[in-house]
Amino acid sequence: MNQCVVLYLCTAEFTGESEIEYSSAPQVGATHNCILFVMQQHSGAETELAHKLLSKHGWEKAEIQNSKPFMAESVNSEKMQVFQRHYEECLEYGDSLVWYA
């Protein structure tokens, strides 16, 4: 069965209780915009899975605004190359998270 990567765009609060180590973690209690890359069996939204993975990364009170399939060829564009590492991490581990102000 073909798998695809789906992006979840959300706003969430960082709890500091992450199963994943951050090289530079956000401040506990801070709210940030996030992009969650998720490997899925289909391109439809799986918000329950997304909330579970956000929790694994230390985020709660997530408000998912949008989800959409990630087009792998987009990492070839200069604008999207910043996400290449996260896309590759998602392929290897099943998910990856980007947080920003």
The pLDDT of residue 1: 60
**C-alpha distance from residue 4 to each of 11, 30, 65, 68, 98 (Å):** 23, 31, 20, 10, 18
pTM of the model: 0.93
pLDDT tens per residue, range 1-29: 679 999 999 999 999 999 999 999 999 99
Q: For residues 13 and 1, give the distance between their C-alpha atoms in angstroms, rounded to a whole number.
A: 35
Percentage, residues of the chain above pLDDT 70: 99
